[in-house]
Structure 1
């Protein structure tokens, strides 16, 4: 859905997920939209750096982190977003490590720490919105069916 809510979060398209499971971010955006939260992917962001990091290319991973921070920072600094939402658990772990990964970079250490603080798994966001979600589901006329949720 097009962004239309005052509440806004950033999503990372990433590199592997769009090829393997392209519908995940779209589904997450629809759920968040129903909860009054717009999810946006910002131009300039890309791979989180996990692939490079796991291939022993720490400098390449730091370059990926800096690129993402540069893409997200204007919205973070302006207070336009409340979180960076991850729908791929491996990316979430990597982005949450940006503070550590960039701790010795004077230009990015503080920004990396701030990005890590803002990063949430989609399951955490949905859990935090539990009351609103329950109200939406209760309003449905269909009978309730069991629901299983496996958070990574």
Structure 2
């Protein structure tokens, strides 16, 4: 929490008798695909930023968060988003994959990388669905 000041950081424990969030049936742990002792860093909007099993890695997480980079050396357990099949889970998976790709791209090539990605995805979509997607994105950009 001190490393991320002035952001508000809370520790929430799940599943133990003295937990902030009781999870006797293990529903939350199951939804996250959590293992015993695993630590999740979750944004206020519910997006899982990372999962670690060693509390000493929290300092590295804080460094990456303040630098705006993506850590690549943490646990490689299957993301809970890959098990979610609804639209929101799919969008979250796409967002995480795209964020990771942008973090790994050369900063001078990010815009070109997004153009290449749009061309590849556009060639795989129908003309109608691609046109609707562009219109939707343009409308959202205009309202920001």
TM-score where L is the length of structure 1: 0.24
Question: By percentage of residues, which structure has more strand?
Answer: 1
TM-score where L is the length of structure 2: 0.25
* Structure ranking higher on relative contact order (CA contacts 8 Å, 6+ apart): 1
Asked which structure has the greater CA Rg, the reply is 2
